[in-house]
Amino acid sequence: MPDAEIIMIEGKKIRFSNPEKLLWPKAGIRKIDYLARMLELAPYILPHSKDRLLTSIRYPHGAGDESFFQKNAPEYAPEWVKTHTWNDTDYILLDSLPTLAWLVNLAALEFHTSFNTWQRENHPTSLVFDLDPSEGQRFEEAAEVALLVKETLDSLSVKGYVKTSGATGLQIYIPTGGRYDYNEARRINEFFGRYFSQKYPGKITIERMVEKRGARLYFDYLQMWQGKTIAMVYTPRATDHASISMPIGWDELEKGIRPEDFTLNNALERIKKKGDLFAPLLENPVQESLDSILKYAGLS
């Protein structure tokens, strides 16, 4: 295969360069392999990325090398790449196969999306508990905390959906259908963060300063905010294993799954077997009410 060629996807021309370049050297994944995997996963990726402001992380020389964040669409973006301007930033909207393939060619190895759609810029579609292990912590400790969180949610009759971050952490989503604005959503998240850190002071902290966290898991209630992003469901991560941010069942978490169990090379097989476990988050009627938490905490 030549160093660059024009490929056609849904009638759009994309210059695809350096197809043999290793983007995940330790996993042996070349750029052409990455394109093939992402086109296979596109039916599951695009419904979750559609209408959300995209921040990609590009690794021109592959995972393990230098990287940079890209928020603004570059001047050389094709005219068919859709964007939305917010706060003077021209964000890409990852809503089509050609746009996905174009980003793959740019060696965008990670896709991070906004908590809201561009149509409702002040209302996140879900509350998200971001469970971030501190340095030296094992994934098993994050799993233990996630299961403790689930116990509390179950007691409130609130359904949470969990996914691996693809790196070391876990994220729990509570679909709210945009019923809360960012101020309300943050108050709810802070309430839960303080509750869990007080109930399990040896396991969970909301301390922002890394050096003060010790060996406790960080419950990051501040991340969910307007203009901030999170590793989207099914995004690859620039890890040695080419791991994927994967929705999982709570039973799987109890049985001891690990982030590296889900990779670019096996993600499609898993999704075909399990289905899209985050599909319920795409349904507008699905709304969990946390009004009682707002009222109880004196926040409403």
Residue in this structure with the two tokens 């596109």, named with its chain if needed: 42
Q: Helix 139-155 and helix 182-199: axis angle, to 10°?
A: 110
Strand partners, 4: 17
Fold of 126-296: DNA primase, PRIM domain (3.90.920)
Going by C-alpha positions, the residue among 92, 109, 97 that lies closest to residue 33 is 109
Strand partners, 93: 53
Residues 79-135 pLDDT 10s = 999 999 999 999 999 999 999 999 999 999 999 999 999 999 999 999 999 998 887
Residues 29-55 pLDDT 10s = 999 999 999 999 999 999 999 999 999
Beta carbons of 182 and 124 less than 8 angstroms apart: yes
Structure confidence at residue 215 (pLDDT): 87
Please give the structure tokens belonging to residue 219: 């419950």
Beta carbons of 170 and 252 less than 8 angstroms apart: no
Residues 60-70 pLDDT 10s = 999 999 999 99
- Rounded Cα gap, residues 54 and 112, in angstroms: 6
Helices (H), the chain: 31-49, 97-105, 139-155, 182-199, 250-255, 267-274, 291-296
Q: What is the residue extent of each domain of the chain? A: 4-117, 126-296
The helix or strand, by DSSP H or E, that contains position 58, with its residue range, turns out to be strand 52-58
Q: What is the dihedral of CA 118, 42, 146, 242, to 10 degrees?
A: -120
- CATH number belonging to the domain at 4-117, selected among 3.40.50.11890, 3.90.920.10, 3.30.360.10, 1.10.3720.10: 3.90.920.10
Please give the structure tokens belonging to residue 221: 């209630």
φ/ψ (deg, to 5) at 292? -65, -30
